[in-house]
Amino acid sequence: MERVDYLSDERKRAQFDVDAMKYVWAGSRHAFEVSDRISKLVASDPAFRKDDRTMLPRKELFKNTIRKATYSWKRIIELRLSEEEAAKLRFYVDEPAFTDLHWGMFIPAIKGQGTDEQHQKWLPFAYKMQIIGCYAQTELGHGSNVQGLETTATFNPKTDEFILHSPTLTSSKWWPGGLGKVSTHAVVYARLITDGKDHGVHGFIVQLRNLEDHSPLPGITLGDIGTKFGNGAYNTMDNGVLRFDHVRIPRDQMLMRVSQVTREGKYKQSDVPRQLVYGTMVYVRQTIVADASCALSRAVCIATRYSAVRRQFGSQNGGPETQVIDYKTQQSRLFPLLASAYAFRFVGEWLKWLYTDVTQKLQANDFSTLPEVHACTAGLKSLTTSVTADGIEECRKLCGGHGYLCSSGLPELFAVYVPACTYEGDNIVLLLQVARFLMKTASQLGTGKQPVGTIAYMGRIEHLMQCYSDVQNGTFFFLKIQLT
């Protein structure tokens, strides 16, 4: 049977420098070359195959993911890959696994909230994966409302220890990836109590399992919370449950960069401003926005290639039918998603700059941009993840019935991605925070305080209120766009 390469013909029609666009997308020529080299390394290694992932039962799926993660680390060491190359390899292996939380949240939490001494003690083991960490914040009863967490960490000055306890069923840590089976340690968030006083939620480094036989330590109950949505997707991850029964940990395992508890049990703030914890938040949300671009671009790539190959209707005189991509209805649904993928890629780069900028300002005790930074990261996290989740589903529809097949890659991509609309802040809750920030900014306009940064336009509110559109109706506006 003769095979026609429709994609080749489409690629030849490009009216821009494709190689230059590759470098822009990657960030630089060097970044592209690293990505290209590592992607080919992963694609050529049969140990990383994933075509059977959606057909494996849960236990085999999880074991397969552990095997790939272990093999990935082995290859990183054998090939002496740089930190950049290692990160790319983990990305291209494309398995939601315990390593996501280890590198993406456990290590950043210690780096952002730990002291220099804690960095020296814990990070070398974490970087070498001699300990495997997760991020235990969300509880069965509270997620977005972090201040409502119920796990307690009560200081005992007689033994110089904290006593971690889960006083209720709803205080069970619930959902942390890597917690159910794999992690040896966790950054646990609990209510700090000293001398009967509640100081709010703080972070603690807690060992969960024996490093020799991997069994849970005394007083700790651990388990996997079960099967999640989708065939493969997050079922490769051991999202877990954790409960404490008066578990004792040394005082120096409280993350003390921002606040401290002395040997005598006195709570005090350090010289480091508490607002520094926002740096970690910006970092995490920046990675979420970057992930949105990657996920949406994958879906759009699948749908675009399908649209170029698939033909329906329009045959004349026995000739070939029309490529689906040539229909305006297909273009009107597909091309805005393609544009969004690029937009999210570039705003992700901007958020990297914002993270560097806010970190430097916080270290210099400059908190002036914090409200805007919080609003930007909250708003962009909500916007990009919502658009991407909806966009992946739209791409599935754009592929017709074939998009519903697991072999299209779209069902699993959707199942893997949709949790992003919930974790690290429910999207609706985050949008309400953005709205509150904008309303507060608007209420201060008459005080002489000028808005800066992304909201500087609000300082011209009087002029903007005088502006109006001369559009008479929707039809006129559409024709005007077409003509211009």
Residues taking part in catalysis: 424
| Beta-strand relationship, 240-244 and 220-224 | antiparallel
Check: CB of residue 348 under 8 Å from CB of residue 293.
yes
Q: Quick one: which of 307, 331, 334 has its CA closest to 321?
A: 307
Question: What type of residue sits at position 295?
Answer: A
Give 176's contacts (C-beta < 8 A, 6+ positions apart): 101, 134, 135, 136, 137, 138, 183, 186, 239, 240, 242
Please provide residue 192's backbone torsions phi and psi, each rounded to the nearest 5 degrees. -80, 125
User: What is the Cα–Cα distance from 331 to 334, expressed in whole angstroms?
Assistant: 5
Pairing of strands 161-165, 220-224: unpaired
Specify the 3-state DSSP secondary structure of 187. Answer: strand
Q: What angle do CA 51, 95, 26 make, to 5 degrees?
A: 100
Q: Which residues of 39-49 are buried (b: 16+ CB within 10 A; e: fewer)?
A: eebbeeeeebe
Task: Quickly tell me which residue has 């300082």 as its tokens.
Answer: 459
- DSSP H helices in 196-315: 277-309
Please report how many Cα atoms fall inside a 13 Å half-sphere around the Cα of residue 364, on the Cβ side: 9
| Token pair in block for residue 467 | 């502006």
Find, among 292, 294, 297, the residue nearest to 384 by Cα. Answer: 292
Judge contact between 266 and 202, C-beta under 8 A: no
Query: Shortest CA distance to 96 belongs to which of 465, 418, 483, 380?
Result: 418
Q: Is 216 helix (H, G, I), strand (E, B) or coil?
A: strand
How many CA within 13 A on the CB side of residue 161?
11
Ordered alpha helix ranges (H), 310-327: none
Amino acid identity, position 338: L
Facing residues of 248 across strands? 163
3-state helix, strand, coil in the chain (%, to 5): 55, 15, 30
